[in-house]
Chains A and B, each alone.
Chain A
Amino acid sequence: MIKFLFKGIMNDRSRSLLPIIVVALGVALTVLLHGWITGVLGDSIAMNASFNSGHLKVMSRAYAKDDVQMPNDLALLEADTLVNKLKSDYPGLDWVQRIRFGGLIDFPDEKGETRAQGPVVGWAVDLFTPGSTEIDRFNLKGSILDGKIPTKPGESLITSDFATKFKVKTGDTFTLFGTTMDGGMAFRNFTVAGIVRFGSSVLDRGAIIADISDIRKALGMEGAAGEILGYFDNGVYDDRTATVLMNDFNEKYVADKDEYAPQMIRLRDQGGMAEYLDISNAMGGIMVFIFVMAMSVVLWNAGLLGGLRRYNEFGVRLALGEEKKHIYLTLIYEGLLIGSIGSVAGTMVGLAASYYLQVVGLDMGDMMQQSTLMMPTIVKTRITPTAFYIGFIPGVFSMVLGNALAGIAIYKRSTAQLFKELEV
């Protein structure tokens, strides 16, 4: 009987073509959107984790209360000791020290007078230690447009838009003005070792990256770190494990009432990341639900029209001794077959489009000039194993549901009525 139904589907284009097109279209969109959202949210989460949140972050309790303001006067002291303890207690993560800071940057002219000034956000990371993971984490090698990664004290990187705006080139010098850890004025001269473009408007508008040892000297933070970030060795955030580690760490300091005692938080506890993660996780289900509903309505109507057209066939089949229930079931089987064919076609189209956008990406830089979200300007899809099957859920389910709803009409007509419609 399946072979018989399959022949019917293949031979009767008016029965199968529109539903297959609808299913394929919906499935392709589902796969593409899934890849898009996974890519956009995934890249945003990864970028945020790399630059700001880590998978886990340790700060002083006082710093944690206002960490958006980067209050380095509340930074962790003796950070090396704490990092060593973290490495010992939680060996499955890479623990790194960071100082995030804000300040004013001053570019001099050839006479040493101020040529241009602007606010800047800075990252102090470990650039000099051989084997430092931070260079890869910030994708510095891939992001550098001109010059090189700093290799000695007094060198820094600045971001591309910033460099363009202030007409800065590699080898130029600038002065960083900031605030020391104890509230004094800080300034230090740097040479532009390289210009980088991270592909995120928020970063590229105005940021510098320097080695943490230089910034410690500039801001009077010897032995201190604003934040200690932990990254899972496999590079993938695991909320469950992060929660266990966070609880374990914080448990050790429950009795310590010092406001400078360390406190650990997870990626999801930081700046809207919980919503990002939840949306990222729920988006597959949401999309499947939306497409199931939308396609079911279309396919229900297609099924009704097809059913009306096929009343003659149903009448013949009843006359030949087929039960209504069996006819109804064959409609469901047809739905499964058409849904599967459409889903395979749609998945292939969706994957092809996703792959293209994964390789080439879509430059949304112009739209994100004023964006405050840390996300890439070239948005790329990401093909995950889920993309290979997620389209089958709305594809097959909506087709079966559409046919099931349309097929109810068979039960509403009496056998004699159906038979009369044969117009014998």
Chain B
Amino acid sequence: MQNSEIIKIENLTKRYHMGENDFTALRNINLTFSKGEFTGLVGPSGSGKTTLLNIIGSLDNPTEGNAIVLGNSVSELTHKQSAVLRNYHIGFIFQTYNLLSVYTVFDNVEFALLLQKHTVAERQKMVMEALDWVGLADKAQSKPAQLSGGECQRVSIARAMVKRPEIVLADEPSANLDAANSHHIIQTMKKLNRELNTTFIFATHDEKVMQYLDRIIHLKDGRIEKDLIMPDSKTESHVSL
């Protein structure tokens, strides 16, 4: 497995206009991420975790510097190119799941594929495979309202993974879950990371998540405080793909 560099962040600064003042969310960030990393951006609220994820996900642009994602300079991408990058190469997992409540589990996962060119049979196969990964194949026709929080987050993981992206960005994925469910979904993601060599980048301040991370980047006031490799991180114990 070749773990090449897939994200490079160079001298990145992000400022927001807030009235007459500017708020600097990120200051002169330099980072690289390799394929297959299981990395966390850790820090208190306002430290710039989500902003950095948004820029990596091509949802926002740097004010200064550059973010190169899979060879694409984020600030130079058109809206369409950004959408294509997200559609084919980046998956998102949210704290509040953000499932579409009026659709079934199957529909929610399938939606990511509707934007790509797949046949109905291909989509069916890919969706059921993704639901299998997260152990929810039997809930394919359920509505999100019929699922527990942990199950909803697993659907969210399936939705992010169904298109086999190179990168998954997860913003506080365990914040709304109890301890057991937190461990379970992190283990699921760790397993996917190992099996599919998908790069996972988390924004988190959850100790339970941090136990599993291979690398922890501490952010404070928009700056990198520490960038630590975690040789003793936990591995998945009981999740099978």
Could you list which residues of chain A lie within 8 angstroms of chain B, going by C-beta atoms?
Answer: 1, 4, 7-8, 11-12, 15, 312-313, 315-326, 415-416, 419, 422-424
Contact = CB atoms under 8 A, between A and B. Distances in A.
Contacts of B94: 316, 422, 424
B166 interface: no
Contact of A321 (B88, B103, B107): B88
Interface residues of B, number: 32
B102 A11 contact: yes
Interface string B71-95: 0000000011011111110101011
Contacts of B80: 323, 325
Contact of A319 (B50, B92, B114): B92
Nearest to B58: A415
B115 A423 contact: no
A170 B98 CA distance: 84
B172 interface: yes
A323 B83 contact: yes
B102 A321 contact: no
Contact of A422 (B96, B103, B114, B159): B96
B50 A424 contact: yes
Given A7-B107, A12-B102, A424-B172, A320 B59 contact: no
Give the interface centre of B87, B92, B107, B111 by most chain A CB atoms within 10 Å.
B92
Given A320-B115, A321-B115, 18 more contacts: A4-B114, A7-B107, A316-B94, A318-B59, A319-B86, A320-B86, A320-B87, A320-B112, A320-B159, A321-B84, A321-B87, A321-B112, A323-B83, A324-B79, A415-B82, A419-B59, A423-B96, A424-B96
B115 to A, nearest CB: 6
Q: Is the interface of A mostly helix, strand, loop or mixed?
A: helix
B86 A321 contact: yes
B18 to A, nearest CB: 14
Give the interface centre of B82, B96, B102 by most chain A CB atoms within 10 Å.
B102
Nearest to A414: B60
Nearest to A310: B100
A4 B82 contact: no
Contact of B114 (A1, A316, A318): A1
15 contacts: A11-B102, A315-B98, A316-B98, A317-B111, A319-B86, A320-B111, A321-B84, A321-B85, A323-B80, A324-B79, A415-B59, A416-B59, A422-B98, A423-B96, A424-B172
A17 to B, nearest CB: 12
Interface of B: 50, 54, 57, 59-60, 79-80, 82-88, 90, 92, 94-96, 98, 100, 102-103, 107, 110-112, 114-115, 159, 171-172
B87 A424 contact: no
Given A4-B111, A424-B50, A424-B172, A322 B87 contact: yes
B79 A415 contact: yes
A416 B54 contact: yes
A324 B59 CA distance: 12
Contacts of B79: 323-325, 415
Contacts of A419: 54, 59-60
Nearest to A419: B59
A325 B96 CA distance: 26
- 3 closest A-B pairs by beta carbon, nearest first, are A321-B87, A321-B86, A416-B60
A319 B95 contact: no
A8 B100 CA distance: 9
A321 B159 CA distance: 12
B100 A313 contact: yes
Nearest to B160: A320
B166 to A, nearest CB: 13
Contacts of A323: 79-80, 83
Contacts of B57: 319
A4 B114 CA distance: 9
Contacts of B159: 320
Contacts of A11: 102-103
Nearest to B57: A319
Contact of B83 (A4, A312, A322): A322
Contacts of A319: 57, 59, 86, 92
A331 to B, nearest CB: 15
Nearest to A13: B102
Contact of A322 (B50, B85, B110, B115): B115
Contacts of B114: 1, 4
B69 to A, nearest CB: 13
Nearest to A327: B83
